[in-house]
Structure 1
Amino acid sequence: MEISKLTLGAADNQVTVTFYEPAPIADLHVIQRRPLAIILPGGGFTFYSQRESEIIALNYLAQGFAAVVVDYQLADQPPVLPRALYQVGTVVAYFRKNAVVYHLAPDKFLLAGFSAGGYVTALYADQWAAPFLTQAVGVTRADLQVNAVGLAYPVIGLRLGWPPTARERAAIVGDWPYHEADQLVNGENPPTFIWATQTDELVPVTNTQHYVQALERAGVPVHSTIYDQGPHGLALARPVTAFPRSFDPADPDFGAAFVQPHVAHWFPQQLDWLTRLWNLNDFWRDQ
Structure 2
Amino acid sequence: MKDAQINLIELPPEALKTGPGRGRAADRKPVIDIQNVRKSFGGNQVLKDVSLQVHDQEVVCLIGSSGSGKSTLLRCINQLEFIDSGRISFRDELVGTVERAGVLHEASPALTMRQRRKIGMVFQNFNLFGHMTALQNVAAGPRLALGTPKAEAHQAALALLSMLGLAEKTNLYPSQLSGGQQQRVAIARALAMKPDVLLMDEPTSALDPELVQEVLDAIRMLAANGMTMVIVTHEMGLVRDIADRVTFMHQGVIAEQGSVDEIFGAPKTIALRNFVGGRRH
The TM tier, using the shorter chain, reads under 0.3
TM-score (norm 1): 0.27
Q: TM-score, normalised by structure 2?
A: 0.27
Higher strand share: 2
